[in-house]
């Protein structure tokens, strides 16, 4: 079982203030994309490519899945540029390494590349550039048309021959890396490789043990050398490897035109990569390679890539300044009357709106909605009797309110503040809470009834006192009553 650990660093160059580089780090997939096509187009292209890469590879984490992910990423970037006219001509480089299962059951690293973002293998204190830059000058050099020194200063060193999103199809270079414990893989944009040599890379990788610290130090060193472009670096450490070969780590090119497997050995000076062909040949030095695509190994050499072209002709699109206006040279013919959805399915572009996305949006929307109604229920699940000017009213809510839910008057009773006892009125002004509106109304009715009873009692007491005091002068109440009775009797006699 192979165990990996990674660290990354990115920095916006001194010239370009918008970062078109985009790193990706997961447990088993690492990638660097360097967008092109102006500030907006470059960022969009890199983001679309990385999103498609991650989505497809997650479904099929194999070597074939990584190759398919590059194809889908290319389609996604190309389709995005077709759907939005302001993004026409955008593209991106993409270099990715993934932990997958090998044919013999052991873990291996699958490496894929399009463009001039590089991948290096650092093993036994020696570094080898695995990927081949897809620039016009580099490919002319690999075919023997110019020398390495001429390629370093060639006017076409800034022109890419391959990038994602320029047409409907793209050819991806791939390798299988059988790594050992202690090996390091470096993925970087051209902002780093333009500034640092292989020897400088090897020195940092050999002396800085933490992958995150190593990535940051490489970025800092590139900035000290000029830092004219965006710089992105990912350093992946192999903590536990499968020990595939006693001679060294194996680099196995994948593809119909791939060359023989190569072994990174120990038979050269410090910081210089050595690759030995398993088939028997030997090549030493920092530049090693085959002429077939998908199999080349090449070393350091300054190039940045300001424009690119596809496999047939140059399509100049600015990588550092404004977006180019020239459309891709190869556009697939769409069937007559093809709908937008059918076109996306034909190109293998993932749907933007899926059932999972809809459910997630609904869930996110349901949480604040549920919280709103819960608070609203608590705020209004209460009634209390209160005095409002000369009226006694029933309010629904909590005294003082809860958040933005304030009490509201739901009933104005026929009882006024002068129709309840003073002691009860003091309680009402403080707010008397009841469990329901009916209970609140019954409470007010009872208070009024109590007030009426007290008033009637007072009135009866007053009437009784008046009758007792209206007696004849000098006579007692008893005598007066008797006399009145006698008189009445006499009056009724025949």
pLDDT at res. 17: 43
pLDDT over 80 at 68, yes or no = yes
Q: Does 345 lie in the same domain as 403?
A: no
Mean pLDDT over 357-383 rounds to 89
CA-CA distance, 231 to 191, in Å (whole number)? 5
Confidence of residue 280 (pLDDT cuts 50, 70, 90): very low
Average pLDDT over residues 56-74: 95
Are 344 and 403 contained in the same domain? Answer: no
**How high is the mean pLDDT of the chain?**
76
Stretch 413-423: mean pLDDT: 89
Return the structure tokens found at 54: 């991650």
Per the CB < 8 A criterion, the answer to whether 341 and 352 are in contact is: no
The pLDDT of 226-237, averaged and rounded, is 86
Q: How many domains does the chain have?
A: 2
> What is the pLDDT at residue 40?
74
Q: What is the pLDDT of residue 156?
A: 72
Rounded to an integer, what distance in angstroms lies between the CA atom of residue 314 and that of residue 461? Answer: 116
Give Cα 119 to chain centroid, integer Å.
26
Q: What is the mean pLDDT of residues 345-365?
A: 72
For residue 375, is it within any domain?
no
Same domain, 95 and 204: yes
Residue 319 sits in the same domain as residue 386: no
> At residue 245, does pLDDT exceed 60?
no
Report how far residue 485's alpha carbon sits from residue 488's, in angstroms, rounded to the nearest whole number.
5
Of residues 154 and 192, the one with the higher pLDDT is 192
pLDDT of residue 474: 54
Q: Any idea which of 246-250, 313-317, 388-392, 463-467 has the lowest mean pLDDT? A: 313-317
Based on the domain organization, do 320 and 388 belong to the same domain? no
| CB atoms inside a 10 Å sphere around CB 224 | 10
Considering the domain boundaries, does residue 420 fall inside one? yes
Q: pLDDT band at residue 232, thresholds of 50, 70 and 90? A: very high
- What's the rounded mean pLDDT across residues 166-175? 92
User: Which tens digits make up the pLDDT trace of 375-409?
Assistant: 988 888 888 998 888 899 999 988 888 888 889 89
Residue 456 lies in a domain: yes
Range in 31-35, 84-88, 348-352 with the lowest mean pLDDT:
348-352
> So what's the pLDDT on residue 13?
55
The answer to the question of residue 431 being in a domain is yes
Q: Do 385 and 249 belong to one domain?
A: no
Claim to verify: residue 168 and residue 239 sit in the same structural domain? yes
pLDDT at 349 over 70: no
pLDDT digits (tens, 9 = 90+) for 102-133: 777 788 899 999 998 999 999 988 899 999 88
Domain that holds residue 437: 380-466
Residue 333 placed within a domain: no
DSSP line for 321-366: SSPP-PPPS--PPPPTT--HHHHHHHHTPPPSS-HHHHHHHHHHHH
């Amino acid at each position: 079982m192979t165990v990996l650990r990674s660290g990354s660093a990115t920095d916006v160059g001194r010239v370009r203030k918008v970062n078109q580089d985009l790193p990706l780090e997961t447990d088993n997939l690492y990638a660097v994309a360097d967008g092109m096509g102006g500030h907006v187009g470059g960022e969009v292209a890199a983001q679309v490519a990385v999103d498609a890469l991650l989505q497809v590879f997650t479904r099929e984490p194999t070597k074939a899945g990584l190759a398919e992910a590059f194809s889908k990423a290319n389609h996604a970037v190309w389709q995005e540029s077709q759907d939005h006219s302001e993004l026409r001509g955008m593209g991106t480089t993409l270099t990715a390494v993934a932990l997958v299962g090998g044919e013999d059951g052991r873990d291996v690293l699958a490496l894929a590349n399009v463009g001039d973002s590089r991948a290096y293998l650092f093993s036994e204190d020696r570094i080898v550039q695995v990927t081949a830059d897809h620039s016009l000058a580099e490919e002319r050099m690999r075919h023997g048309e110019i020398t390495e020194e001429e390629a370093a200063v060639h006017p076409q060193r800034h022109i890419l021959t391959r990038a994602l999103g320029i047409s409907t199809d793209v050819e991806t270079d791939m390798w299988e890396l059988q790594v050992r414990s202690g090996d390091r893989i470096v993925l970087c944009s051209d902002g780093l490789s333009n500034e640092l040599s292989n020897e400088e890379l090897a020195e940092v990788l050999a002396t800085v043990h933490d992958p995150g610290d190593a990535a940051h130090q490489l970025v800092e060193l590139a900035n000290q050398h000029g830092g004219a472009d965006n710089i992105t670096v990912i350093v992946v450490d192999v903590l536990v490897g499968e020990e595939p070969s006693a001679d060294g780590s194996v680099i196995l090119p994948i593809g119909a035109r791939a060359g023989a497997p190569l072994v990174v050995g120990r038979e050269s000076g410090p910081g210089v990569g050595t690759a030995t062909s398993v088939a028997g040949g030997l090549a030493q030095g920092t530049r090693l390679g085959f002429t077939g695509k998908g199999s080349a190994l090449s070393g350091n050499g300054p190039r940045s890539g300001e424009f690119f072209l596809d496999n047939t002709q140059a399509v100049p699109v600015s990588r550092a300044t404004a977006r180019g206006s020239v459309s891709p040279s190869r556009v697939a013919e769409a069937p007559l009357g093809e709908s937008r959805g059918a076109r996306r399915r034909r190109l293998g572009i993932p749907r933007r709106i899926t059932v999972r996305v809809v459910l997630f949006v609904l869930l996110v929307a349901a949480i604040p909605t549920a919280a709103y109604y819960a608070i609203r229920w608590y705020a209004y699940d209460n009634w209390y009797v209160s005095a409002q000017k000369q009226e006694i009213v029933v309010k629904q809510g909590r005294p003082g309110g809860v958040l933005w839910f304030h009490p509201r008057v739901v009933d104005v009773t026929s009882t006024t503040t002068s129709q309840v006892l003073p002691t009860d009125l003091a309680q009402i002004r403080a707010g008397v809470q009841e469990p329901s509106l009916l209970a609140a109304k019954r409470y007010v009715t009872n208070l009024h009834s109590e007030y009426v009873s007290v008033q009637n009692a007072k009135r009866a007491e007053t009437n009784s006192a008046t009758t007792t005091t209206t007696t004849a002068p000098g006579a007692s109440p008893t005598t007066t009553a008797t006399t009145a009775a006698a008189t009445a009797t006499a009056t009724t006699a025949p």
